[in-house]
Amino acid sequence: MTVATTEPMVGVPEVEPSHKDMRRYPHGVAFMDGQYLPMSEAKVSVLDWGFLHSDATYDTVHVWEGRFFRLDLHLDRFFRGMERLRMKVPYERDEVERILSNCVALSGHKSAYVEMICTRGGSPTFSRDPRDAENRLIAFAVPFGSVANKEQLERGLHVGVSETVRIPPNSVDPTIKNYHWLDLVKGLFDAYDAGAETALIMDTNGNIAEGPGFNVFTVKNGQLKTPAFGVLPGITRQTVFDLCKEIGVAVAAADLPREELSQADEVFITSTAGGIMPVTRIDSSTVGTGKVGPVTRQLTDLYWQKHFDKGWSTPVAYL
């Protein structure tokens, strides 16, 4: 693999075009078309089907204190998604891993939000046949961000349940990570209008599905449940299953009726952007005691401890 870097990319990116307001862009590094660039220079063509039709797949992994967390699982899902969408990129798996590591290393971030994207691309002749498109790999690393801020993590999130229905899985396969978020965005506005901080939306059977970028779990009598139908099987969601197996806690993926949320002893959400995050209020009802519960705290502590476990994490090769 041959890549090009501009001179300022030896250390922290310093390119500051006079026609751009750099405050609009997070400090980070992107990889596009064989080059590493400051985030402000990363551009997608308006003719790219990823932009025009949301014809893309992606995955997001995070780096914490210089180590990728569960990178192999994220790469597995990314390559599986490309295969199922009939996309190909001119890089092998180990090359994509190296590109991601380089983005982090060039950015200098010790804790980062790292994304890999494959868009359908476009056709040189503007053909409408997706087989004529040249697929495109994009990657970037920016500072780590969380669904919940520090204060929300301490007291628990207020989640609103929207009547918005998630896109049916027989229309868009939710196991392939995608940018079809208009249902989730509508759910967010419904939650904001009701005074909540984030949202959960329903599946086509009237059960709880997921939220914008996260899965949800309930805890009842020491047993965990998370929705099984019409959701993305998140890597952090899988991590909760793995942690529960280690500590001998029962967990199941099954239908989650709306009323079970308010009846739960504890509720938490899971995402690469934030990990395991407590929920202490659903709509106008308090969850359990209204405070972060013991099962949520135990799993959260174990989750962050695993970030330093060599079997669960991969060091970044900083320059």
CA-CA distance, 235 to 169, in Å (whole number)? 19
CATH architecture of the domain with range 4-143:
2-Layer Sandwich (3.30)
What is the homologous superfamily of the domain 150-307 according to CATH?
D-amino Acid Aminotransferase, subunit A, domain 2 (3.20.10.10)
The mean pLDDT of 102-131, rounded to a whole number, is: 95
pTM (predicted TM-score) = 0.91
Whole-number pLDDT of residue 18: 39
The strand pairing partners of 161, in sequence order, are: 200
CA-CA distance, 209 to 201, in Å (whole number)? 6
Domain ranges of the chain: 4-143, 150-307
The mean pLDDT of 136-146, rounded to a whole number, is: 97
Whole-number pLDDT of residue 12: 31
CA-CA distance, 46 to 237, in Å (whole number)? 34
Return the higher-pLDDT residue of 18 and 66.
66
The mean pLDDT of 114-129, rounded to a whole number, is: 94
Whole-number pLDDT of residue 2: 37
Q: Are 262 and 287 in contact (CB under 8 A)?
A: yes
Tell me the pLDDT tens digit for each residue of 272-301.
999 999 999 999 999 999 999 999 999 999
> What is the pLDDT confidence band of residue 23, given thresholds at 50, 70 and 90?
low
Whole-number pLDDT of residue 26: 84
The mean pLDDT of 64-80, rounded to a whole number, is: 98
Whole-number pLDDT of residue 319: 78
